[in-house]
């Protein structure tokens, strides 16, 4: 399978597969965000998810794939550093702001920075039509965030801090997207990068979360928390794995933009699962997001 995937790099078939992987990643990332922001404290949810995917990835990293080449160790170190900061910022953001407000801001900031980063790191250039698509998508995402903000009544005093954190988190979304793309391209076997990424990355946050759990006056039951962690780990494998593979098969900027249709899926989850109201304005804004992604893809 590895040889087959590598053979698709730079081909029309690889571009089509990257498109499908990016859209799959968008849906699963929205689900992942909802799992972290759900019934448990976001720190607890993220710690349970990370611990679960580290344990699941361990046998693959240790026994199923070739070990990383020593020349890639500095890349892995940078990747893990960026992801640690991203996860801390994301947990702070979700702790302070409503999911339907902060999630679009995080995801809307990410693709703009990712497109710029892909230009400097990989020499990728968007044409005028694609840039138009980016701004259509961003208009829909930030419009959705503004609409949600106008109708948000819970913890409004914390929203300014939450929005500032959301923009900063979006910057780190762009950083990890471009750096992960560099790492998976620099590793001869992409599954080596994925397995070792999940194995080591999952070890970083759980010790701090365990200390937080021990200090909590009202500790959540570990059974339901770890059940959510296992579910979130499975979603993470396919979500992050899909977008990383998409950036190896095709352009990083295009994959980053397509993934941000996750905002549409997040709104649908809020409507169908969380029973949030979706009116005509939200539907129009979600249509803008989808239209922007389509313009970027077909403008290529």
Determine the structural domain holding residue 151 and report its residue range: 2-299
Select from 27, 19, 154 the least CA-distant residue to 98.
Answer: 154
- Residue whose token pair is 């399978």: 1
Give the dihedral sign, CA 6/10/11/14.
positive
First-residue to last-residue Cα distance in the chain: 28
Q: Could you give the number of structural domains in the chain?
A: 1
Instruction: Judge whether 57 and 195 are in contact, CB under 8 Å.
Output: yes
pLDDT in tens, the chain (300 residues): 677 877 888 788 888 888 899 889 888 888 877 776 656 677 888 889 999 999 999 999 999 999 999 999 999 999 999 998 988 888 788 777 776 677 777 877 777 778 888 888 788 888 888 888 888 888 887 887 777 777 765 565 667 778 888 889 888 988 888 899 899 998 889 999 999 999 999 998 899 889 988 888 888 888 888 988 899 899 989 988 898 888 888 888 888 888 877 777 877 777 777 666 667 777 787 778 778 877 887 776
Q: What is the pTM (predicted TM-score) of this model?
A: 0.80
């Amino acid at each position: 399978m590895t040889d087959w995937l590598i053979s698709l790099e730079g081909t029309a078939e690889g571009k089509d597969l990257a498109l499908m992987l990016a859209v799959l990643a968008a849906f699963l990332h929205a689900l992942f965000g909802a799992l972290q922001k759900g019934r448990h404290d976001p720190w607890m949810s993220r710690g349970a998810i990370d611990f679960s995917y580290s344990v699941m990835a361990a046998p693959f990293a240790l026994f199923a794939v070739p070990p990383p080449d020593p020349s890639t160790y500095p890349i892995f170190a940078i990747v893990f550093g960026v992801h640690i900061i991203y996860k801390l910022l994301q947990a702070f953001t979700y702790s302070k702001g409503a999911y339907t407000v902060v999630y679009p801001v995080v995801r809307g900031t990410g693709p703009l920075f990712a497109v710029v980063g892909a230009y400097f790191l990989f020499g990728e250039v968007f044409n005028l039509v694609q840039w138009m698509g980016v701004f259509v998508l961003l208009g829909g995402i930030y419009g959705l965030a503004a609409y949600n903000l106008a109708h948000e009544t819970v913890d409004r005093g914390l929203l300014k801090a939450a929005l500032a954190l959301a923009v900063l988190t979006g910057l780190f979304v762009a950083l990890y997207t471009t750096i992960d793309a560099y790492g998976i391209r620099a590793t001869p076997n992409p599954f080596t990068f994925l397995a070792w990424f999940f194995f080591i990355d999952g070890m970083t946050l759980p010790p701090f979360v365990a200390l937080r759990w021990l200090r909590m006056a009202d500790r959540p039951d570990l059974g339901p928390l770890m059940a959510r962690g296992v579910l979130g780990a499975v979603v993470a494998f396919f979500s992050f794995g899909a977008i990383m593979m998409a950036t190896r098969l095709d352009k990083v900027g295009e994959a980053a933009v397509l993934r941000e249709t996750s905002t549409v899926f997040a709104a649908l989850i809020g409507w169908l699962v969380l029973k949030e109201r979706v009116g005509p304005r939200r539907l129009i804004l979600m249509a803008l997001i989808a239209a922007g992604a389509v313009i970027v893809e077909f403008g290529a």
